[in-house]
Chain A
Amino acid sequence: MTIVEGTSIRTYLHVFAALLLLLFISVAVAQINLGLMNLAVALLIAAAKAALVIWYFMHVRVSPRLVLVAIGAAVFMLTIAFILTMTDYVTRA
């Protein structure tokens, strides 16, 4: 990681514009009744927004790869927690 990294103000502004666009889309889509799909679409858009913030604003793009390992560990442990919890509740009679 070099400290004065290459991301320009222009890039940050583009990312910000993309985030606002995604916010607008998610609110607009929520006005349409898709039943249970509403949640799926909303979460998909949220994941895209989170990815933009993490990749550009949190500088993961220019950080040591070890940071990705830390994030990967979090995602992995969360997945286990969710799967184990839900296997219980989904299979209850």
Chain B
Amino acid sequence: MNSEGGEIGILAPQFDTLKQQNEASVLGMWIFLVTEIMFFGALFSGYAVYRFMYPVTFIESSHLLNVGFGSVNTGILLTSSLTMVLAVYFAQRGRNREVCLLLLLTALLGLVFLEIKAFEWVHDFKEGLVPGKYFSFPGANAKQVQLFFCLYFIMTGVHGLHVLIGVCLMLWLAFLVYRRKCSGNNYMKVELSGLYWHFVDVIWIFLFPLFYLIGGSV
């Protein structure tokens, strides 16, 4: 352990300095996130194609979603990003108690997000918006509306899966910090998990307007 120059951590043998080691960790995490961006990018370009082909239907379909659910969930994820960044802040300063509490709070906010999302999906199902056997839409463009909802369920579903993974990650981290196996002398785990959590937030920041806000009031 080394506290020189305000830097703390355990130096692995393949690195010269802690600064180099931490920069390598951060860059490695970012490269993983870049692959995630490309993965979601394919879904977003699928959205772009069908939005281009059926602009009116997309606006019409967007009105079937409840802006209230979406807005509250956006607020919750933004708040969870704040608690996450504060967890990293305290982890940098070795204050394990605060880190543990903030990580648990972040996980809790993630769970609330998923809870609201699950409630909304059930609501969508009852409204007959789930593509497939139980889909019901009175208009002539029902097929295209179904396409919109395919994109909606796949993209919010895959995003929800990422949130779920994030929640598990936060609980595991909180456990490690509680057992004093992390933070203080090895805070990079918290920093890198923070990057993942914020990335998931950024994806939702784009999903929210694309599905809920494209309509305008009619």
How long is the Cα–Cα vector from A58 to B38 in the complex, in angstroms?
18
Contacting chain A: which of B48-56, B116-124, B146-154, B160-168?
B48-56
Please name the residue on chain A nearest to B46 by beta carbon. A85
Q: Are B84 and A57 in contact (CB under 8 A)?
A: yes
- The reply to whether the CB of B16 lies closer than 8 angstroms to some CB of chain A is no
Enumerate A41-78 residues with CB–CB distance to B below 8 Å: 42-43, 45-46, 49-50, 53-54, 56-59, 63-64, 66-67, 70-71, 73-74, 77-78
Compute the total of residue contacts between A and B using a CB distance below 8 Å.
156
Q: Are B48 and A85 in contact (CB under 8 A)?
A: yes
Residues on the A chain within 8 Å of B215, using CB: 30, 38
CB distance from B47 to the nearest CB of A (A): 11
Q: Are B89 and A12 in contact (CB under 8 A)?
A: yes
Q: Are B214 and A38 in contact (CB under 8 A)?
A: yes
Q: Are A35 and B216 in contact (CB under 8 A)?
A: yes
Residues on the B chain within 8 Å of A3, using CB: 6-9, 18, 22, 92, 187
Enumerate B43-90 residues with CB–CB distance to A below 8 Å: 45, 48-49, 51-53, 55, 59, 67, 71, 74-75, 78-79, 81-82, 84-86, 88-89
How long is the Cα–Cα vector from A53 to B33 in the complex, in angstroms?
14
- The reply to whether the CB of B30 lies closer than 8 angstroms to some CB of chain A is yes
How long is the Cα–Cα vector from A73 to B214 in the complex, in angstroms?
28
Residues on the B chain within 8 Å of A49, using CB: 205
**Which range holds the interface residue count of chain B?**
35 or more
Q: Tell me whether chain A's interface is mostly helix, strand or loop, or mixed.
A: helix
CB distance from A93 to the nearest CB of B (A): 13
Residues on the A chain within 8 Å of B140, using CB: none
Residues on the B chain within 8 Å of A53, using CB: 81, 198, 201-202, 205
Q: Are B81 and A26 in contact (CB under 8 A)?
A: no
Q: Are B27 and A70 in contact (CB under 8 A)?
A: yes
CB distance from A5 to the nearest CB of B (A): 8
Q: Are B52 and A78 in contact (CB under 8 A)?
A: no
How long is the Cα–Cα vector from A81 to B159 in the complex, in angstroms?
21
Q: Are A78 and B37 in contact (CB under 8 A)?
A: yes
For A12, give its contact among B49, B59, B82 (CB under 8 Å): B82
- The reply to whether the CB of B34 lies closer than 8 angstroms to some CB of chain A is yes
Residues on the B chain within 8 Å of A90, using CB: 52
CB distance from A6 to the nearest CB of B (A): 11
Q: Mark B160-196, 1 if CB is under 8 A from A, else 0.
A: 0000000000000000000000000001000100110
CB distance from A92 to the nearest CB of B (A): 9
In the complex, besides A1-B23, A63-B23, 6 extra interface pairs with C-beta distance below 8 angstroms are A3-B8, A3-B9, A3-B92, A20-B78, A38-B213, A53-B205
Q: Are B81 and A46 in contact (CB under 8 A)?
A: no
